[in-house]
Structure 1
């Protein structure tokens, strides 16, 4: 029985190492696939170029469909290669009349949007672009994203936040006069967004409340337990002066600090979760306000749980171990199990929230550094882009 905790830790580390090795192998395999696909792309484009067609417009029958499909699928390397060989492809449109910019917004193709970001920013056409129904880019970004894009985010809360981030990004590029302009159906961009996302808003509200309610119960229990531990000194007090028996010992100091941290952190977490439950749930609140509260609440809850386990472990050592240092090992292993279990359960949600909320402040996209990797000539493309 003494060796059981060590066996469990060894088993966990063994499983973790196997998972890590398999993921590394998958990453290496995925890195090879794009390179092979790019080589095939270059070969196909060279074959088309070798046909030496009578006019450059004749290339459209070869490039139009793959070019527009690449915009839908976020395949920026395909778009870049075609633009390098055929700059006028920037004018290609599908059956609905949508060009590459509009398709990148409708299908949330962030790499395509980033690839032509500078071209769009330098052109008034980008700011005043409309379709046959007088929908500008804000109307298009107000539509609900395709499901294969939504499911990349975990939960309705992060999905709605991503949609709001897209809207804020497109707002920067569209002329302010178009923020409230109506289409032929008398709908403003905000009206389109609200109508398209009303179900997602309800799902995000339910998801947020469920997390806040469950975590509030946990934070309340920790607050109660730690408060009772704070006023109940382990080992008791001296009868003559009332000072704790273990005062001055390092484990007792650790106990006091851990109890204080746990109490303050759990109280903070409880207040954060209660502010979510009693707050409003408007669309714009899911952009920063509500995710920030949830992040602070989850982080505080993890800190309070860790500090509570540390406080309980020091109490065990003080009261039952009689200064036997070798007992620190099994106590540490046992304390590691609940802490690691809680972190495994909560860390993914917390990391996703942190990444989605703070990693992309000021822009929706991760920095792909596409400006350093593009091969097409922006000056050649811009000539056709402005026509």
Structure 2
């Protein structure tokens, strides 16, 4: 493809062929040529062919409703597209398949150089043919493809697109966005709902006035951070000076202040923690933190429903108190069974007792000593576990007890229960070593190895809960008031790069 001399000989004899479809799918000769690779020959062919065509002929569409310019835009043929729009700039405004404009389809296909070129020549997406949906779709695809320079330019030209929800969702799912950004590319989209702390930091550095901007519900980015429990974003309140008081005074359309929102959104957090007790502890921690941040006169302020923050929090979390204790009953059943077994085994040692002195037959076997000691440990630890869980159930527990007292008891009870299960398996295995120490030595080894399975299963299933409890107990104190300043004390990670064609 690209033999212009032959094509010119044919077109000179039959000029109308430039507007005829060569096939059902491809369209005119120009439609076919723009699908080829851009080489010196094909570019020369397109240039000469376009010179032979009228402006109207350049606007001809194939059976897929696409102009040749639209096809070139979709496939990234920038030089070919440039030749065509030099003769007819209206090609930029003609829609093709899917009702997409050339600029939109190039963004959807992720062709960066084409997107920049077309945007520069589209008069910044102005004109009656450009709808809000067109601009929003174009911006969304630029963000998806990491074309942040173009996205910033669009937002500068059309700031109303910054409130687009679909765009927020796209960018919010890019937590590593600043690792790939170059050239000081800060886009103005609030991604607080997804917890993109790095983005919010760069956003506020560039547009500090956005700290006080509200959405349609009357919430700032800090209110949204509280509702979604993103402490990284919330902690920025400690770095904004006098703005902090202004933010904390803001009330939404329902007259809810920031402290109200902690209780109002508690139920949404239920699925994010391993148990109700842990959820209650974390919710209390958030309530106490935001309460300390809230001006005193707002701590007892009522919303439109006539509820104070504390009343709303108590109502939203009343089920958590009972749910946080229900699962301890199952643990008590297990501990009781182990106590029963361990107590009975203590008086039925392997091999029985001697009739003359009442001592065990295998008293001199080390495995019998292992049996007795581990049985005792199993009995004591299961008893400890039972008593701990019993104290949890029988004592009166308010919401404040979920901060430290109750999680500490649950940790002790779970640890004691695990020890009792592990030592019970050791006791069971040791009994076979006592009985088969002379013959069938492979049998106790096989049973001992098999006995590790339930211990491992118990550990694997309970370890996440235990770790969550431990972290809630000891890491929670570091959630707020970070020592390291993030907003203004750290070095900017983005560098400038101009928007070129």
Give the alignment's TM-score, normalised by structure 2. 0.57
Is 1:305 the counterpart of 2:421 in the alignment? yes
**Residue 183 of structure 1: how far off its partner (Å):** 4.2
Structure 2 match to 1:88: 209
Does residue 163 in structure 1 map to residue 283 in structure 2?
A: yes
3-state SS of paired residue (2:191):
helix
Tell me the residue number matched to 2:458: 342
Query: Aligned ranges for residues 218-297 of structure 1 at < 5 Å?
Result: 218-297=334-413
Q: How has the CA–CA distance of structure 1 residues 284 and 212 changed in structure 2, closer, same or farther, with 3 Å as cutoff?
A: same
Are 2:212 and 1:97 equivalent residues in the alignment? Answer: no
Segments of 4+ moved more than 6 angstroms: 36-39, 365-370
Aligned to 1:371: 486
* Cα distance in 1 for residues equivalent to 2:422 and 2:143: 47
Unaligned runs of 5+ in 1: 1-35, 54-58, 378-387
Q: Distance in 2 between matches of 1:295 and 1:231?
A: 31
Cα deviation 1:52-96 (Å, max 9, x = unaligned): x7xxxxx85454555564122222232223223322222221123
Alignment correspondent of 2:194? 73
Which residue in 1 is equivalent to 2:256? 135
TM-score, structure 1 as length reference: 0.72
Distance, in Å, in 2 between the alignment partners of 1:253 and 1:309 is: 15
Question: Which is higher, the Rg of structure 1 or of structure 2?
Answer: 2
User: For residues 192 and 310 of structure 1, what CA distance do their matches in structure 2 show?
Assistant: 51
Return the offset for 1:368: 11
Cα separation, 2, equivalents of 1:242 and 1:343: 39
Selected match of 1:205 from 303, 317, 322? 322
Residue pair 1:108, 1:145 contacting (<8 A) in 2 also: no
Higher relative contact order (CA 8 A, sep 6+): 1
82-91 or 313-322, which moves further after superposition? 82-91
Shift of 1:101: 1.4
Any idea what the Cα deviations from partners look like across 1:12-51, whole Å, max 9, x if unmatched? xxxxxxxxxxxxxxxxxxxxxxxx97992743564358x5
Post-superposition CA distance 1:290-326 (Å, at most 9, x none): 3332222222111101101101110111013437654
* Aligned with 2:315 (options 172, 176, 195): 195
Root-mean-square deviation over aligned CA pairs:
3.5
Query: Greater helix share, 1 or 2?
Result: 1
Superposed CA deviations along residues 201-226 of structure 1, whole A, max 9, x for unmatched, are: 3xx524631x2222211111110111
Q: Residue in 2 aligned with 1:14?
A: none
With 127-136 and 89-98 compared, the bigger mean Cα shift is at 127-136
CA drift of 1:342 comes to 2.5
Conserved? CA contact 1:165–1:364, under 8 Å: no
Is the deviation greater in 263-272 or in 329-338? 329-338
Residue aligned with 2:240, SS: helix
Question: Of residues 78, 82, 107 in structure 1, which corresponds to 2:228?
Answer: 107
C-alpha deviation, 1:270, in angstroms: 0.7
Q: C-alpha distance in 2, partners of 1:38/1:366?
A: 34
Does the 8 Å CA contact 2:251/2:258 hold for their aligned counterparts?
A: yes
Q: CA deviation at 1:134?
A: 4.9
